[in-house]
């Protein structure tokens, strides 16, 4: 379990567990993905390249084939170093042989507004366990977007993110007034909630007045292949700004666990 990484005003992402390393000593989990890909040959993980001299270039006994178009060694591409399993990993990813990428994964604890979770839960390839207001009252923690956040999509033509037809142009002053009113709405909702609980209304029904800006907590677990699918949609420029903030943290953490795979993923998005 690692430290919590703050997201939005009161949210966070925290790595709880990860799997897929060949051993405790492995610095990264990419090696286990390669080993899984070699089940047919039984060779397992052979090692990353770049640390040993290319045998074709340095040996006087082995044949040395050169690419006629580039005049570079075919075995190492002209680097002079042995080509390692990063070549196989890149081949698997580029050609969408994705089964080996299911051999590693991670579990995160997330605190986010309920409306963010509603978007997150659409990824049904993940496993979730969210706190339930049937059993315990939700903490009085609510999301209040900043003025800068409110202004991002002001006047946008994006049908999902933009304003309604014929709306007046949003100003920073109006955005700040919205923030103040939103805080009062949260206070009124919490007061109503607590009064309902005190009046004997069951917790499972007293919660019906909770706004979607109320924070909740969950744990989300998935293999690496499905985390990459999540990031493809939720760390995209067209994703809602709030969930993208969470996706960026998830991507950074996964990059520390599976650095070579996440690098291939990022290259694919920008390439």
| pTM for the predicted model, two decimal places | 0.85
Could you report the per-residue pLDDT of 165-188, keeping only the tens digit for each? 778 889 999 999 999 999 999 999
The label of the residue with tokens 């610095």 reads 27
Q: To which H or E segment does residue 220 belong?
A: strand 215-223
Q: How confident is the model at residue 271 (pLDDT cuts 50, 70, 90)?
A: low
What CATH code would you report for 1-47+86-143+213-271? 3.30.1360.170
Could you report the per-residue pLDDT of 117-159, keeping only the tens digit for each? 999 999 999 999 999 888 888 889 999 999 999 998 776 655 5
With a CB cutoff of 8 Å and minimum separation 6, the contacts of 57 are: 64, 73, 75, 76, 80
CA distance 232 to 105: 16
CA distance 163 to 174: 14
Sign of CA dihedral 24, 25, 30, 35: negative
Asked if 120 contacts 233 with a C-beta cutoff of 8 angstroms, the reply is: no
CA distance 130 to 148: 30
Here the tokens at position 16 are 């709880």
Domain extent listing, the chain: 1-47+86-143+213-271, 49-83, 144-210
3-state secondary structure of 171: coil
208 or 70, which is more confident: 208
With a CB cutoff of 8 Å and minimum separation 6, the contacts of 81 are: 49, 50, 51, 52, 53, 54
- Burial annotation 48-87 (CB, 10 A radius, 16+ → b, else e): bbeeeebebbeeeeeeeeeeeeeeebebbeeeebbbbbbe
Q: Among the options 217, 234, 244, 260, which is catalytic? A: 234
- Report how far apart, in Å, the C-alpha atoms of 218 and of each of 16, 71, 93 are: 11, 55, 30
Is 38 marked active-site? Answer: no
3-state secondary structure of 39: coil
Could you report the per-residue pLDDT of 40-93, keeping only the tens digit for each? 888 888 888 766 677 677 766 666 777 778 878 766 777 777 678 888 999 999
Could you report the per-residue pLDDT of 104-115, keeping only the tens digit for each? 999 999 999 999
Per the prediction, the chain carries an average pLDDT of 89
The label of the residue with tokens 């006087």 reads 60
DSSP letter assigned to residue 233: H
DSSP letter assigned to residue 222: E
């Amino acid at each position: 379990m690692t430290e919590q990484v703050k997201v939005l005003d009161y949210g966070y992402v925290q790595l709880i567990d990860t799997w897929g390393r060949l051993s405790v000593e492995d610095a990264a989990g990419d090696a286990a993905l390669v080993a899984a890909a070699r089940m047919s040959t039984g060779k397992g993980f052979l090692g990353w390249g770049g640390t040993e001299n290319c045998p074709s270039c340095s040996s006087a006994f082995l044949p040395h084939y050169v690419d006629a178009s580039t005049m570079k060694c075919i075995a190492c591409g002209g680097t002079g170093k042995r080509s390692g399993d990063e070549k196989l990993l890149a081949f698997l990813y580029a050609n969408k042989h994705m089964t080996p990428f299911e051999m590693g994964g991670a579990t995160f604890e997330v605190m986010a507004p309920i409306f963010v979770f509603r978007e997150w839960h659409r990824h049904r390839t993940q496993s979730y366990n969210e706190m339930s207001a049937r059993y315990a009252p939700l903490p009085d923690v609510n999301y209040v977007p900043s003025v800068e956040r409110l202004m991002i999509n002001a006047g946008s033509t994006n049908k999902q993110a933009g304003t309604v037809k014929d709306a007046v142009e949003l100003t920073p002053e109006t955005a700040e007034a919205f923030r103040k009113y939103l805080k009062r709405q949260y206070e009124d909702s919490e007061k109503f909630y607590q009064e309902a609980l005190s009046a004997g209304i069951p917790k499972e029904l007293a919660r019906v007045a909770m706004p979607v800006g109320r924070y909740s907590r969950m744990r989300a677990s998935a293999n690496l292949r499905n985390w990459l699918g999540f990031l493809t949609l939720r760390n995209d420029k067209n994703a809602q700004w709030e969930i993208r903030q969470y996706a960026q943290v998830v991507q950074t953490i996964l990059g520390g666990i599976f650095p070579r795979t996440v690098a291939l993923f990022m290259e694919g998005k920008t390439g």
